[in-house]
Structure 1
Amino acid sequence: MPIDGKDAYLLDTPSSVTGRSDSEFTSAAHKRRRVRDDVPWRLWLVAVVGFWERAAFWGLTAPWQNYMEHPLRDNAQQSPGALGLGQSTATRIYCAFYVFYYASPVAIAVLADGYLGRYATLLGSTVLYCLGCVVLTLSSSTGSLERGFGLPGLLLAMSLISLGGGGFRATPPRLKALRNGELVITDYHLTLQYIYSLYYWVGNLGSLSWFATVYIELHIGFTAAYGLALGFMAVASVTLVGGSRCYVKAPRTHNPLPEAARVILCACRSGFSMARADPVYQLRRRHKVVSWSAALVKELTRGLQVCRVLLAFVMFYVCFDQMQNNLISQTSRMDTNGAPNDLIPVLNQVGCIFLGPLIQGVLYPLLHRCRVYLTPVTRITIGFALVALSMLHATVVQVLIYRSPPCFDQTGNCGPGRVNVWIQAPLYFLISAGEIFAYVTALEYTYSHAPSSMKVVVQAMALLVGSIGSACAMALTPAARDPYLVIFYGSLTGGMAGTTLLFWMVFRGDAGQQTAAANDASDCEAAIHPAHRAARRASSGAPVLKPIDAGSPIELPSRAVSRSSTIPPLPEKSARRPRQNDSRTAWEMGRYTQIDVLYELPSQRLHTESQGGSRQASQAGRNYIADGFRGERGL
């Protein structure tokens, strides 16, 4: 929200000029609500590529459980199938795919940053993706199935698709947009939250291809369904190549993952202590010279501390993976009224599409107007609780299935039961809401709270947690069989509920988690007037920064920023002279520096364009550090 002229003058003029007190000086910003900043149009172009990629991905994976679990059907009453591997084996292969899908971006990211570049890696991933679609389409034909090429073709296609999809996940867009204008107050965390929600929402919109492929699978065949997904991927490829001139292609950079892996391995060998991975410790105690610095160990330690919240998502992924396999198998024992049995899981994407804007555009702004800012821990806890409720609902549905004819709790394919399949629908909406509250928040939180040099490491850890969750789900597949499915879903309910409670108890008092909400007023005042008490401490949500030379980029969390301000005349006489290490004087004299703001999504940076301020103010500014701001030429 732009600040009006009167407030802008107050925020742009020191109290020695206006005669206003410090409390009056900060009142204009203190009364302002936090708002997100605008998003550049290039972000939408990248989102279009993501839309078609997600359409291809979900179009391919939607029929997989039926394709693997059931044999070729003899009549229209049976569920469609091809390989006839059974529920447990099909679920195990499905989970193995996700293990590889989540783990591959870690290695691909190193290749992209250090050797090929992000855009070239993305193009190569697109080629692998398309090849996987072609292999799957050809191997699913009737002739290929009769010759025994179905399972080998599926495994080869899964490998190619996991590599291609991993390339998309390993190369997130880096967009820049320059804006000039008047003094405004924007919230970096709200902007980042909006960006992640936008990508998440567009991805779920693309996943509606699930509707098309499952109906084609039921009425035409698997080959046509996979061919449609191949067409979606072709459109994504054309969009990616056609819009190449619009992208800001980042040059190849050093990827910290290999060095971070060596540090972590050294810490594990030294008693699982990061302090023992310090170069000084290794030299004195182990007589070993290591290639990394002490600063890297400290940054990595802080990055791993941020990743603690991700450990709870192992159980989240175990529950989430049930949608693509065991819950589809559950619908095969229910009355579908002619609809495909693997259609119902698409309600998860439908729920994300409708609940996402509702939560993002209605609930959060409503709470913000009431000065209520849900902390990341609170949002994640709410999401976990909703996922636990979804597993409880699955348990109740399974009880109803076991109590209804003709199958009851018997094993084997005895046909659909009498329980209506739409009773399962609330389960997917609960998971949708849980994803929005927990998953999106975790991505936003880990990225915004990680040190700048460790953001890639934190993102890799988030993907590895997903891989571990899928591996745990794969380990549980032998228990997912009749007549023990009630116990299976009940155990998932208890595990998710316990994870929710434990997560809340461990992280609710963590000061680092409360930065986005509890320190709202103090942060806003510290941004506008660093003499405020909150400005004299380093925020737990932003790294403590060392003085740097003029012209270097400055990491900005949520702050008020002066843009292209006009220098007002200084008073002829001042009440006192500037003194060394005087942060107030540095702020008052340095605020006249003309500033532009460069937003690098999803990071935010600030560059000084002029070099105003006196020599004394410049020296005082360099000695001043306050909650994400760095003194620089009087700023």
Structure 2
Amino acid sequence: MKDAEEYQKRHTSRWVTSILILIQAKLIDLASSSNSTVFAEPPILSLTEVRHLRRVVDHIPLRLWAVALIGFWERFTFWGLTAPWQNYMENELDSRNGIPGALGLGQAQATRIYCAFYIFYYISPLVFAILSDTRLGRYKTLCITTIVYVLGCAAVTATSFDRPLRAGLGLPGLLIGMLLVGLGGGGFKMLMVPFLADQYANDHPKMKTLKSGEQVITDRSLTLQYIFNLYYWVGNVGSLSWFATTIIERYVSFALAYMITLVSMVLATVVLFLGARWYIQVPPGGNILPTASRIIICASRNGFNMKRADPSYQLEHRGKSVPWSGQSVDELRRGLMACRVLLPFVMFYVCFDQMQNNLVSQAKQMQSGGIPNDMIPALNGIACIILGPIIQYLLYPFLYQRRIHFRPVARITTGFAFMALGMLYTAVLQHFIYSAGPCYSKPLACPHLWDTVKETPDGFSGQQGNYVNIWWQTPVYFFIGAGEIFALVTSLEYAQEHAPDGMKAIVQAISLVLAGFGSVFAMALTPIAHDPYLVALYSSIAVAMTVTTVIFWWLFHGYDEEEILKDNEAFGLDGTTDARKDEPGRQLDESILRSGPRPLSQNSMVTVTTYQELDAMRPQPVATGNMDNHGIRPLTPVREFSLQGGS
């Protein structure tokens, strides 16, 4: 009887095993027919296989596109709302020169108010940043900012109708609206970057096979770069509202232009609230500001050296224990390093601010042909829409295929250079405006010419500026657009990646505070922001931006090299091989790759689980052996695996 039971158990076990084998075989067949396969177990891959796989952008989840849509409506609101402000403040309600206006404050005063708004817009997010990182979390804080934002848009809209304007409510209503929009819009802008990054939750690389049969590895760094460029591109599509509101402002009214932006912000708020259960909501990490403050104080007492705030150093050299970890010190050091890199953006924003005020006034001094002068800055959005895909899909892959690592500091330096070129072009253009008639260095200051301005059913026609066509401003906005893509988008990525987990919103807020300082300096320039000193103004800004670019590269270009070295050290690359240069013809000896203390040979196998390890195994050009057209050994066929469990 006992033998029969034992036989029955063995017989049943064999059937179960057979069934499991059949199921496993079926799953393998199904997986092999798809584009890529993901297994739960990390693979064992040879160094040669992993090092020569191309790194690609990961799949973008649908919820991230929804967040990008919110960003689209918010940017539609912001640029559509602020675009008419310079004319709204500068020109009179019934101006004889045919340029729309409402408050009649003049160029200098309007520019001061505009700059003051941006100062507040950039500085106010600090309150929301602390609230987000320590108390409410990013999503709840973001919801609060949108409500404040909507109230600001409503205040501007309600007081821009003809009756409130003639009753003297235009300026108070605008100032209240600026206060609320600056508070809500600044908080929204600061929180959207980390909230957007939260929606991409995959922290581990995966290996997959494309439809072409090529095997590649997903890369978090490339994916985040793509996400931020996508977000910025979508935002610039939204900024095309600039065209709509400035045309409506000229041919209908300011009130209708502002009402459209109010509706668009309501739409953004609705999409944000409806997705509450869908979005990834990272809880607040607790208040780490007291710990960060103690670490900084400890470092300042030790020669302002963050490494000396490390617990091991304090215990060995000071004989005392500290209540923080070495990891906390390292994260804070990286966050402070990011803030140092962002500091030169003060001058960048001085240049950027010219687009929203003085360049609008410059367009007014030119021959417009009936085009609203404050519509021309919308060309900046078009420039970003055109240049963004070219840079993302053509330039970056072109450089990557040739082992040219266009690291963050190099990209920011390039953006600074483009911004300097933009200001230089503006100065030259202003010189040509002053050199042209009929008013020369005093455009629009020829009263006898105002009689040639006639009102028609389509608006105004006649002499409106010196004999320089308004479209000569176009290159300025393309220079500024290139500067934004290279420098501004990279700064978002850099701040997000280098900030400690509990301070991501705070570091983003600090970057906006620096932009606020840029607006402070721009405001300081308003005493000379009028004719005939504008050539000197733009020339000074161009020189200052050029000097900033040179100093920035001189101070921080080593950070790019440190990034590469850190990636190499993460997998044990020592200094015997100059992996930083990646010059064609160099060969990386794989015997120097290490896993722990033991060196690995050519045929050694490793388990890859982090992006740092993948970066350490970046493809290197070789001097000998079978190579393809790019000087790289052909890929050895490998199996499809996930480099970390889960998808």
TM over 0.5: same fold? yes
1:371 to 403, 409, 418: 403
2:510 to 451, 461, 465: 461
Q: Tell me whether 1:121 sits opposite 2:141 in the alignment.
A: yes
The answer to whether the 8 A contact 2:311-2:326 is kept is: yes
Residue 334 of structure 1, CA deviation: 0.5
Cα distance per residue 1:315-366 (max 9 Å; x no partner): 1111011000010011111110000001110010101011101110111112
Q: Distance in 1 between matches of 2:259 and 2:469?
A: 31
2:364 to 314, 322, 332: 332
Q: Tell me whether 1:65 sits opposite 2:86 in the alignment.
A: yes
Q: 2:217 is matched with which residue?
A: 185
Q: Tell me whether 1:235 sits opposite 2:267 in the alignment.
A: yes
Residue 290 of structure 1, CA deviation: 9.5
Using a 3 Å threshold, how does the CA distance of structure 1 residues 37 and 276 change in structure 2: closer, same or farther?
Answer: closer
Using a 3 Å threshold, how does the CA distance of structure 1 residues 279 and 472 change in structure 2: closer, same or farther?
Answer: farther
1:349 to 381, 391, 394: 381
Q: 1:133 is matched with which residue?
A: 153
TM-score norm. by structure 2 comes to 0.74
Q: Tell me whether 1:206 sits opposite 2:265 in the alignment.
A: no
The residue identity in structure 2 corresponding to 1:166 is G
Residue 119 of structure 1, CA deviation: 2.5
SS at match of 1:342: helix
Q: Distance in 2 between matches of 1:35 and 1:108?
A: 35
Using a 3 Å threshold, how does the CA distance of structure 1 residues 411 and 210 change in structure 2: closer, same or farther?
Answer: closer
Q: 2:450 is matched with which residue?
A: none
Using a 3 Å threshold, how does the CA distance of structure 1 residues 29 and 337 change in structure 2: closer, same or farther?
Answer: same
1:394 to 426, 430, 434: 426
Residue 209 of structure 1, CA deviation: 0.6
Q: Distance in 1 between matches of 2:252 and 2:569?
A: 57
Q: Distance in 2 between matches of 1:450 and 1:100?
A: 23
Q: 1:544 is matched with which residue?
A: none
Q: 2:614 is matched with which residue?
A: 559
Using a 3 Å threshold, how does the CA distance of structure 1 residues 523 and 85 change in structure 2: closer, same or farther?
Answer: farther
Residue 466 of structure 1, CA deviation: 1.2
Cα distance per residue 1:271-319 (max 9 Å; x no partner): 8666787899999999x99986776455323321232221121111110
Aligned residues, how many? 536
SS at match of 2:55: coil
1:446 to 478, 495, 500: 495
Q: 2:339 is matched with which residue?
A: 307
Q: Distance in 2 between matches of 1:532 and 1:40?
A: 39
SS at match of 2:100: coil
The residue identity in structure 1 corresponding to 2:75 is R
Deviates more, 1:44-53 or 1:435-444: 435-444
SS at match of 1:152: helix
Cα distance per residue 1:92-151 (max 9 Å; x no partner): 111111111112222102212333333222222121111111110111112111221111
Q: 2:483 is matched with which residue?
A: 434
- The 5 Å alignment of 1:405-420 reads 405-410=437-442, 413-414=445-446, 415-420=464-469
The answer to whether the 8 A contact 1:70-1:80 is kept is: yes
Q: Distance in 2 between matches of 1:404 and 1:518?
A: 57
Please give the root-mean-square deviation of Cα atoms over the aligned residues, in Å: 4.0
The answer to whether the 8 A contact 2:81-2:258 is kept is: yes
Q: Distance in 1 between matches of 2:60 and 2:393?
A: 15
Residue 73 of structure 1, CA deviation: 2.7
2:68 to 43, 47, 56: 47
Using a 3 Å threshold, how does the CA distance of structure 1 residues 557 and 157 change in structure 2: closer, same or farther?
Answer: farther
Q: Distance in 1 between matches of 2:314 and 2:384?
A: 49
Cα distance per residue 1:588-623 (max 9 Å; x no partner): xxxx9994246xxxxxxxxxxxxxxxxxxxxxxxxx
**Higher relative contact order structure (alpha carbons within 8 Å, sequence separation ≥ 6):** 2
The answer to whether the 8 A contact 2:80-2:242 is kept is: yes
Q: 2:125 is matched with which residue?
A: 105
Using a 3 Å threshold, how does the CA distance of structure 1 residues 190 and 276 change in structure 2: closer, same or farther?
Answer: closer
The residue identity in structure 2 corresponding to 1:53 is E
Q: Distance in 2 between matches of 1:450 and 1:515?
A: 18
SS at match of 1:464: helix
Cα distance per residue 1:565-610 (max 9 Å; x no partner): xxxxxxxxxxxxxxxxxxxxxxxxxxx9994246xxxxxxxxxxxx
Q: Distance in 1 between matches of 2:378 and 2:290?
A: 38
Residue 457 of structure 1, CA deviation: 4.1
Deviates more, 1:273-282 or 1:398-407: 273-282
Q: 1:195 is matched with which residue?
A: 227
Q: Distance in 1 between matches of 2:387 and 2:613?
A: 26
Q: Distance in 2 between matches of 1:359 and 1:106?
A: 32
Using a 3 Å threshold, how does the CA distance of structure 1 residues 507 and 276 change in structure 2: closer, same or farther?
Answer: closer
SS at match of 1:154: helix
Q: Distance in 2 between matches of 1:524 and 1:51?
A: 43
Runs of 4+ in 1 over 6 A off after TM superposition: 2-5, 178-181, 265-273, 275-286, 288-294, 520-526
Q: Distance in 1 between matches of 2:53 and 2:560?
A: 24
- The 5 Å alignment of 1:466-505 reads 466-505=515-554
Q: Distance in 2 between matches of 1:337 and 1:517?
A: 57
Q: 1:29 is matched with which residue?
A: 50
Residue 514 of structure 1, CA deviation: 4.6
The answer to whether the 8 A contact 2:51-2:614 is kept is: no
SS at match of 2:564: coil
The residue identity in structure 2 corresponding to 1:33 is R
Deviates more, 1:359-368 or 1:509-518: 509-518
Residue 451 of structure 1, CA deviation: 4.5
The answer to whether the 8 A contact 2:136-2:283 is kept is: no
Q: Distance in 1 between matches of 2:531 and 2:250?
A: 25
SS at match of 1:248: coil
TM-score norm. by structure 1 comes to 0.75
Q: 1:620 is matched with which residue?
A: none
Deviates more, 1:408-417 or 1:258-267: 258-267
Q: Distance in 2 between matches of 1:270 and 1:483?
A: 53
* Runs of at least 5 residues in structure 2 that lack an aligned partner in the other structure: 1-31, 209-214, 447-463, 580-587, 598-608, 617-640
Using a 3 Å threshold, how does the CA distance of structure 1 residues 407 and 346 change in structure 2: closer, same or farther?
Answer: same
* Runs of at least 5 residues in structure 1 that lack an aligned partner in the other structure: 15-24, 539-553, 562-591, 599-635
SS at match of 2:343: helix
